Each structure stands twice: as structure tokens, then as C-alpha cells.
Amino acid sequence: MSDRPLRLGLIGQGIGHSLSPMLHRVGLAALGLAGEYVLFEAPAEADLDRVVGELRAGAIDGANVTTPYKRAAAQRCDEAPPDGAPINTLWRDAQGRLVGSSSDGPGLCLALRRRGVVLAARRVAILGTGGAAESVGLGLRAAGAELVAVVGRRPAAAELVAGRLGAQALRWDAPPPMAVDLLVHATRIGHGGRADDAGLARLHPAWWAGARAAVDLVYATESTAFERFGMARGANVLGGIGGEMLAAQAAISLGWWTGHRPPFDAMRAALLATRNT
């Protein structure tokens, strides 16, 4: 890492609302490092290629990746998780190779551990079939959880992700095969404040009673659509995990880029402050 200010950023589509620049500014300050974190709006894959080229050339020191490029970015790396698994973080290693990894799974596991949730040997079901669902599934499995099911609104996508995670694929309206310790919501429902009670209502109602606890990956300044819907049906929803995970995955990425201990507490405090303003 050079002595010049770091140049970091986020690649994706429709990212103007992202809190990542604020989180990383706080994280850099906590580490005593100079730098900036900017948004790389990428309407097409050609824009992704442009940012990847700047990473390879050393003009950018590290980047996060979000929808819809988590898999495409992995394909452009010299080193990435196997089997085309999605990534959310890019950087160059000491040999100049482009490395990709995902802090989504480790971020969720860290957030859950801080809430006292034990993951080893716990049965988990994931609602969703996108990159976030697969990333957190891999992280939960690495933490010792048993992935029971991947539940999707698109059966073919559920089959694909479930196969990669070694879980059972279920339709959105299918009942749970057994009681689970943790139900993880990883769809786009609730992103950007959009409610979709009709979509949540199509989820089989036995999931709400059949899970010991449920969490939502979406961050909101108040409760999320999933949290409100689940609590109204008597589910034990652990509110705010989406925010905890957002701060954790950002801190982990910053640690990978800088080689410093991730400043999770400072970044979490900054995120909590946005909920109180």
C-alpha cells in the first residue's frame, strides 16, 4: 500500500442511496488513514471493466461490488472463491493479482455472534436466491451451521443456489421441512424502503412459527418490511441485524484493503447514529 491517500469505492447500479461512503470515511478516520470512498455507478458491464482496469493499474486501491455484478466481478479476478461464488470485495495483492472475496457471510456471522447467536450445528433456512443469499449461506456453513433449505420465488434459481450450498430447494409457498433455528431473509423485498406485503404473504405461513429466530439482511433506519411482517405474525425477529451486518461487512472489507484490524465499533456507532437522526 502506497503512502498516498487511498482511493476506494463501490461498484453497482442504483447505488446513490448507499451508506458505504459514510461508513468508510469513519473507518479510515478510525484507522488514521487518509483516503476517499466514492460511488462507481456502472450501468453496464463495460463500466465494471473500466473500474477493474483501474484496480489492476493501481489507480484504485480497493472496491466493493453490489448488485448486479457480484458474479461478474468474480469472473474477472485472478483469485476468487471457487465455482463462481459471488464476491463483494476486490483488491490487488502484493504480487499485483486481482483478488476477490466476500465479506457478506463473515459480516452476518459477526453481527449474529455479537447478538449472542450460536451458529455451530444450528439449522438455517435462507429466503432468497441472489448473490447475497449464496454469500451468507457460504459464510454460515463455514461457521458450522447446517443449511436446511433455500426458499425462492423462482424455483430454478432456488435449485441452483441450493445445489451450491448443499441444501434443499423449496418454493416460496412450500412449508418448511422441519423446524429451523434461524430464518435468514436475503431477497430484495424492503430495499430502499419498498414494502411488499403481498410478496411476504405468499411465503408459507408455517415459516413464521417454524423458526426459533428470524433476521433480515436489509438495512433500514427503522424496522424493515420483513421485520414488521414477521413480528405481526408472532415470529421472533431479531431487529436491526441488517445494520449490524452492513457495518461488519464494510469493516471487514476495509481490513482486507489496509491490513489493519477492522474498526467495527466505530463504523457500527456511525451507522447507529443515522437511525437516531
User: Which residues are tagged catalytic?
Assistant: 70
Give the number of residues written for the chain.
277
Q: What are the CB-based long-range contacts (under 8 Å, 24+) for 165-172?
A: 165/126, 165/134, 165/137, 165/138, 165/141, 166/141, 167/126, 167/137, 172/202, 172/203, 172/204
Nearest CA to 161 out of 187, 185, 137, 186 is that of 137
> Nearest 5 degrees, angle CA 277-CA 16-CA 274?
15
Q: How far is CA 122 from the centre of its chain?
A: 20
Cell 466493493 locates to 64
Cβ atoms of 101 and 87 within 8 Å: the answer is: yes
On the question of a cis peptide bond just before residue 68, with omega within 30 degrees of 0, the verdict is yes
CB 184 within 8 A of CB 124: yes
Copy the grid coordinates of residue 169: 430447494
**Exposure of 93 by Cβ count < 10 A (0-12 exposed, 13-18 middle, 19+ buried)?**
exposed
- Compute CA distances 248 → 90, 100, 208, 253, 267, whole Å: 17, 18, 27, 9, 8
Burial (0-12, 13-18, 19+ Cβ within 10 Å), 42: buried
